[in-house]
C-alpha cells in the first residue's frame, strides 16, 4: 500500500498525518466478459497523527503522537475527510 504524510492545520494547530491508501480502480462492466472486472482499491487509513509542539533545544521540530487520543474520541474520521478532500490519491501514486 502506498503511504503518505500530510501536514494539516485545524483550529490553529498543525497536525502531521501519516496514512496508507490504495488507488481506486473503477469497474469495467462493458465489452467481452473476459475483459470485465469489479472495482477495487480506494482503501484509506490513518496510521499516525502527531501534533506540532514547537522547536526542541536542538532546533528540530518536535511532535507529540496524538493518534490514540483522537481514536479514543472517534475523531480520525474528521482527519480522513480533510485529507481526502485535499489530495487526489489516484494522481499521487
Band of pLDDT at residue 92, cut at 50, 70 and 90: very low
Strand, helix or coil at 77? helix
Cα separation, 85 vs 1, in Å, equals 20
Tens-place pLDDT, residues 38-90: 999 888 888 999 999 998 899 999 999 998 888 887 777 777 777 777 655 55
Which CATH architecture group holds 3-92?
A: 2-Layer Sandwich (3.30)
Strand, helix or coil at 35? helix
Looking at per-residue confidence, does 29 or 93 come out higher? 29
The closest alpha carbon to 49, from 24, 76, 83, belongs to 76
Query: Dihedrals φ, ψ of 27, to 5°?
Result: -65, 155
- What is the percentage of the chain residues whose pLDDT exceeds 90? 34
Which CA distances in Å does 65 have to 52, 55, 87? 9, 15, 23
Domain ranges of the chain: 3-92
Work out the average pLDDT over 16-32. Answer: 91
Amino acid at each position: 500500500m502506498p503511504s503518505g504524510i500530510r501536514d494539516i492545520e485545524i483550529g490553529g494547530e498543525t497536525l502531521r498525518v501519516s496514512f496508507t491508501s490504495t488507488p481506486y480502480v473503477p469497474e469495467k462492466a462493458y465489452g467481452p466478459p473476459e475483459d470485465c472486472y469489479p472495482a477495487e482499491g480506494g482503501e484509506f487509513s490513518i496510521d499516525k497523527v502527531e501534533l506540532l509542539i514547537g522547536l526542541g533545544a536542538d532546533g528540530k521540530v518536535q511532535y507529540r503522537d496524538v493518534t490514540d487520543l483522537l481514536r479514543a474520541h472517534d475523531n480520525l474520521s474528521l482527519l480522513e475527510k480533510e485529507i481526502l478532500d485535499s489530495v487526489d490519491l489516484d494522481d499521487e501514486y
